[in-house]
Amino acid sequence: MKLFIGSDHRGADLKKEIMKILNEDGFLLEDTKLENNELDDYPDFAFEVGENVIKNEDALGILICGNGIGISIAANKVKGIRCARVLNEDDAFKAKNHNGANVIAIAGDLPLDKAMEIINVFISTKPASEERHLKRVNKIIKYESGQYNEL
């Protein structure tokens, strides 16, 4: 499985630690090409990770910014991305298994052990498979492509 990861300056330190662990665990991991500095902008990282996830079948994305909210909003502007800002393992599970998330966003000030617990749940969780969840995810996909006509 390929993982794409990106962060603004507020998540750069956590990202480095996460990348070290994921590399040791044998994941194929790709960082953004953008450099971190005090003036960087989270949307740029979100767009790059989102575009890469879309181009690589079965890939997942991990985004980190100050609180995870802004970067998740930006990521959701990339067609085909369903990014959830997650706070805990239950959020990570439901984001992927119930809502079809292919990217998660976390806060840059999370402790490393908590961030890894969340990421490991997200990676290991199976995608949505129950009909009720698939129905909802498919509505989102249809709406995004202009094919939703149930309103």
pLDDT at 26: 95
DSSP string, 40-80: --HHHHHHHHHHHHHHSTT-EEEEEESSSHHHHHHHTTSTT
Nearest Cα residue to 44 out of 15, 74, 16: 74
Share of the chain above pLDDT 70, in %: 100
Q: Is residue 150 part of a domain?
A: no
The domain that holds 53 is classified in CATH as: 3.40.1400.10
Confidence of residue 113 (pLDDT cuts 50, 70, 90): very high
Q: Is residue 151 part of a domain?
A: no
Question: Known catalytic residue: 83?
Answer: no
Q: Is residue 81 part of a domain?
A: yes
E-strand ranges in 8-102 read: 28-31, 60-65, 83-85
The total number of structural domains in the chain stands at: 1
Domain range enclosing 87:
2-144
Confidence of residue 115 (pLDDT cuts 50, 70, 90): very high
Nearest Cα residue to 10 out of 32, 40, 33: 40
Amino acid identity for residue 14 in this structure: L
Place of tokens 């994921």: 22
pLDDT at 59: 98
Task: Check whether 102 has a pLDDT greater than 80.
Answer: yes
Question: Known catalytic residue: 9?
Answer: no
Exposed/middle/buried for residue 37 (C-beta within 10 Å: 0-12, 13-18, 19+) = exposed
* Catalytic residue (choose from 9, 83, 98, 133): 98
